[in-house]
């Protein structure tokens, strides 16, 4: 599709009001942003040169959605549903998003986790149509020129991956771009960022996945991964090009290895409007669950002791966000760190070990915590007992490691233990919710990373809240765009966490639920966006929104109006033949 075939006319809020069409005839059906399929009206068919190119009957969008629901539901396997939705998206973006919106709770699991993991692994074998951009050493020198081809789409959000730390399946080479596609579809569903403003990007620096290197069908750059200075130079070239072409757009770093995730996030904090969802999004949604637990327990955050089992990007991200929240609650940085323990495969992380730089922030001094001098007390159970842990969080990927003994040890420290087994997929979850409720006689407050069916214990039915980053990143994105924030600050994610927690109703809290339901995604994203935007204003990093001529002037009501009217909803837009 060419920039000469279509364009967009925006209103004062930066929302698309008309699509300008420079082509005519059957070509229009091949432009997914423009195509309406059988919904083109008779007047549009005549005006756009589509006479006889379509069957005579005209269907409404609602009729198209009904037909598409029947088709997607007829698919037996999740990957078949994924293929259908992606194919529909490639033909007709508006209909695809309208279909997803009609059943977001079910279809989110198809376009994103867990089904997208299969799509990543099968990317080369089931390749149908190119989406987004693939930079590799053979074209990275042309990055700026390549990105300029997308200026007509007014790119506002890019999700960028180097494909190394995909979900729980690791290095997946070129297939990682499917993650970016899924995340951007959720930006549209949650925050209303129109699909033409979204750009998925793969930074293909090679792969160390032997199966891919030996696969004749593999579509990625068939070399071992760049490392060291070569890798950093490649990332730097991309970052420089992106900043030059889209200085006001948000760049979300996605699925980098844990070592590179922190280094890249921190390197470009002030040079780009960027954040890492695996670190900060995970931290914020976990904090949201903890904040809800505090509302249920009627206790203060700063009174808790936290243990994060799993010291990768997600785990340290959770620890970081808890630390930020504790400092905002009045603790010093040192006092906040003292209440947060991290644990990796070798036990509690201590400062006397030779560890990665990103783990050092929460590494414990054995002189300050003398019980850590005993090697027998570095394990999970012993740490829970010695530290007096009241909030236990799992990001380890070690299925079943929260044993009955461990859970009962947390329950011995507090009347309402907070247990959050967050590892994906279900087979890797640290404990099953039904077991946690049974082991604590229903006292535990539980949230998970994977979706689980409700659990009934002692006559009370508990909806198992899923700590899904989707409650955070779309709203953060919209809040950043609407406020014109020049950078993404850590406090944005604390604001987001409070907003997410506030969306859990009183009735849900009475049953022990810690996070909202997925079907409320749009409403949650709106609250997150406003909280983040006002945080940007109060932090002094806001500027007039560059995507809109409407100025909010820092007023919350006007900001809320701007954010609401910036949203695109999946409905067919008027078309103007040029």
What's the pLDDT tens digit per position in 100-152? 999 999 999 999 988 998 999 999 999 988 889 999 999 999 999 999 999 99
- Cα–Cα distance list, 36 to 28, 191, 197, 573 (Å): 9, 23, 19, 9
Are the C-beta atoms of residues 21 and 48 closer than 8 Å to each other? yes
Closest alpha carbon to 527 in 251, 191, 259: 191
Mean pLDDT score, 210-219 = 96
| Cα-only R_g, the chain | 24
pLDDT of residue 26: 79
Dihedral pair phi/psi, residue 466, rounded to 5°: -100, 120
Residue matched to tokens 């932090």: 539
What pTM, to 2 d.p., does this model score?
0.95
| Angle at which helices 61-74 and 93-102 cross, to 10° | 70
Q: Which residues make Cβ contacts (< 8 Å) with residue 459, sequence separation at least 6?
A: none
pLDDT at 3 over 80: no
Q: Which CATH number is 111-272's, of 2.40.50.100, 3.40.630.30, 3.40.50.10380, 3.40.30.10?
A: 3.40.50.10380
Domains in the chain: boundaries:
111-272, 280-467
Per residue in 512-561, pLDDT tens?
999 999 999 999 999 999 999 999 999 999 998 888 888 777 789 999 99
Which string of b and e fits 28-54 if b means at least 16 CB within 10 Å?
bbebbbbbbbbbbeeebbebbbbeeeb
Do 280-467 and 111-272 have the same topology in CATH?
A: yes
6, 13, 112, 150: which is the annotated catalytic residue?
A: 112
Q: How far is CA 52 from CA 34, 48, 367, 532, 567, in A?
A: 18, 12, 82, 50, 35
Q: Please state, in angstroms and rounded to a whole number, the distance separating the CA atoms of residues 359 and 364.
A: 10
pLDDT value at residue 488: 97
Average pLDDT, rounded, for the chain: 95
Residue-level pLDDT at 1: 40
SS3 label, residue 572: coil
Residue whose pair of structure tokens reads 């998925």 in the numeric block: 200
Give the pLDDT confidence of 15-73 residue by residue, as tens digits: 999 999 988 887 888 899 999 999 999 999 999 999 999 999 999 999 999 999 999 99
**6 is known as an active-site residue:** no
User: pLDDT at residue 10 above 70?
Assistant: yes
Question: What tens digit of pLDDT does each residue of 233-247 get?
Answer: 999 999 999 999 999
The predicted pLDDT at position 491 comes to 95
> Is 187 designated active site?
no
How much is the pLDDT for 535?
Answer: 97
Residue among 183, 258, 364, 377 flagged as catalytic = 183
Provide the CATH number for the domain formed by 280-467 in this structure: 3.40.50.720
The CA-based dihedral angle spanning residues 153, 155, 157, 162, taken in that order and rounded to the nearest 10 degrees:
100
């Amino acid at each position: 599709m060419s920039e000469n075939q279509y364009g967009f006319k925006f209103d004062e809020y930066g929302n698309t009001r008309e699509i300008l069409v420079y082509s005519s005839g059957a070509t229009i059906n091949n432009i997914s942003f423009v195509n309406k399929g059988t919904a083109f009206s008779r007047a549009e068919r005549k005006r756009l040169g589509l006479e006889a190119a379509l069957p005579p009957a005209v269907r409404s969008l609602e009729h198209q959605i009904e037909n598409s629901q029947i088709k997607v539901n007829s698919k037996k396997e999740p990957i078949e549903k994924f293929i259908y939705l992606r194919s529909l998206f490639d033909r007709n973006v508006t209909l695809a998003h309208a279909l997803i919106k009609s059943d977001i709770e079910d279809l989110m699991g198809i376009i994103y986790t867990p089904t997208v993991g299969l799509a990543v692994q099968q990317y080369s074998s089931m390749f149908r149509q190119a989406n987004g951009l693939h930079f590799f050493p053979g074209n990275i020198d042309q990055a700026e020129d390549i990105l300029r081809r997308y200026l007509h789409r007014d790119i506002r959000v890019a999700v960028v991956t180097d494909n190394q730390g995909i979900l729980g399946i690791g290095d997946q080479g070129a297939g990682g771009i499917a993650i970016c596609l899924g995340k951007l579809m959720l930006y549209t569903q949650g925050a209303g960022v129109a699909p033409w403003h979204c750009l998925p990007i793969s930074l293909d620096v090679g792969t160390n996945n032997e199966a891919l290197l030996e696969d004749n069908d593999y579509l990625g750059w068939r070399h071992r991964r760049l490392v060291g200075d070569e890798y950093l130079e490649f990332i730097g070239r991309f970052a420089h090009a992106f900043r030059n072409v889209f200085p006001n757009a948000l760049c979300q770093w996605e699925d980098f290895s844990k070592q590179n995730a922190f280094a890249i996030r921190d390197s470009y904090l002030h040079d780009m409007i960027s954040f890492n969802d695996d670190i900060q999004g995970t931290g914020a949604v976990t904090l949201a669950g903890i904040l809800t637990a505090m509302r249920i327990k009627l206790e203060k955050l700063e009174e808790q002791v936290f243990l994060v089992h799993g010291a990768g990007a997600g785990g340290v991200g959770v620890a970081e966000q808890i630390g930020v929240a504790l400092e905002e609650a009045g603790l010093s940085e040192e006092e906040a760190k003292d209440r947060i323990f991290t644990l990796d495969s070798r036990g509690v992380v201590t400062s006397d070990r030779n560890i990665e730089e990103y783990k050092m922030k929460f590494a414990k001094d054995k002189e300050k915590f003398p019980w850590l001098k005993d090697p027998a007390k570095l394990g999970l159970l012993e740490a829970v007992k010695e530290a007096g842990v009241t909030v236990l969080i799992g990001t380890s990927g070690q299925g079943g490691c929260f044993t009955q003994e461990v859970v009962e040890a947390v329950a011995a420290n507090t009347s309402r233990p907070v247990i959050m087994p967050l590892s994906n997929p279900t087979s890797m979850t640290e404990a099953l919710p039904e077991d946690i409720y049974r082991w604590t006689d229903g006292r535990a407050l539980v949230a998970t990373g994977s979706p689980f069916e409700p659990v009934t214990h002692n006559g009370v039915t508990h909806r198992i809240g899923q700590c899904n980053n989707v409650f955070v990143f779309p709203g953060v994105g919209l809040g950043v765009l609407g406020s014109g924030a020049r950078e993404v600050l850590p406090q944005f994610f604390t604001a987001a966490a409070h907003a997410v927690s506030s969306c859990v109703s009183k009735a849900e809290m009475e049953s022990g639920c810690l996070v909202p339901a997925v079907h409320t995604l749009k409403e949650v994203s709106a609250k997150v966006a406003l909280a983040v935007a006002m945080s940007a204003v109060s932090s002094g990093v806001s500027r007039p929104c560059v995507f809109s001529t409407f100025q909010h002037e820092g007023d919350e009501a006007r900001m809320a109006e701007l954010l609401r009217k910036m949203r695109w909803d999946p409905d067919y837009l008027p078309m103007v033949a040029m």
